[in-house]
């Protein structure tokens, strides 16, 4: 029973992680704006009256931008579709104080952990840390 449980855990981790041995994801599929659904496994929801936190990728300008739940985010985008590696360089954000800073702090605390990415067949974008653990789970804005 323990062996079967361990096998299930390993298989599940493989399904949700990012690895550099995966088939490359084109940069075009990364472009655009993505709603943040989860950060470090915690589900994200928009605050009352606010838009959903998101990260956007401008492939042509090699820039990342977004909304963290309170403030605007901007930075450089360096992504390699052959290896699945991604780096945002130095990011900056506006510095407003908002009523609910929990999502803001989660997003800003996690952004520096991102090292790889993948877009799966269902269209979900996952940004992972160097060990392959999902940091951000995102869905393309419609």
70-119, pLDDT tens digit by residue?
999 999 999 998 999 999 988 999 998 888 789 999 999 999 999 999 99
Instruction: Match 């945002």 to its residue by tokens.
Output: 88
Average pLDDT of the chain is 85
pLDDT in tens, 16-31: 557 544 444 678 889 9
The pLDDT value recorded for residue 5 is 39
pLDDT bucket at 4, cuts 50 / 70 / 90: very low
Domain ranges of the chain: 18-140
Question: How many CB atoms are located within 10 Å of the residue 66 CB?
Answer: 23
Q: Are 115 and 15 in contact (CB under 8 A)?
A: no
Give percent of the chain with pLDDT exceeding 70.
82
pLDDT bucket at 12, cuts 50 / 70 / 90: very low
| DSSP string for residues in 118-142 | EE-TTSEEEEE-TTS-EEEEEEE--
What is the CATH number assigned to the segment(s) 18-140?
Answer: 2.40.128.270
> Residue 75 forms beta bridges with which residues?
64, 91
CA atoms within 13 A on the CB side of 31: 8
CA distance to 30, 84, 131, per residue, from 14 (Å) = 21, 16, 12
Tokens, residue 129? 């840390």
């Amino acid at each position: 029973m323990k062996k079967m449980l361990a096998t299930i855990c390993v298989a599940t981790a493989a399904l949700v992680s990012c690895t550099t041995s995966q088939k490359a994801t084109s940069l075009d599929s990364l472009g655009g704006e993505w709603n943040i659904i989860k950060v470090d496994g915690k589900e994200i929801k928009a605050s009352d009256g606010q838009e959903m936190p998101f990260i956007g990728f401008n492939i042509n300008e090699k820039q990342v931008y977004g909304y963290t739940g309170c403030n605007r985010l901007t930075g450089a985008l360096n992504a390699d579709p052959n290896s699945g590696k991604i780096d945002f360089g130095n990011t900056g954000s506006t510095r407003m104080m908002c009523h609910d800073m929990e999502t803001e702090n989660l997003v800003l605390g996690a952004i520096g952990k991102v090292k790889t990415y993948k877009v799966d067949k269902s269209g979900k974008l996952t940004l992972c840390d160097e060990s392959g653990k999902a940091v951000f789970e995102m869905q393309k804005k419609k």
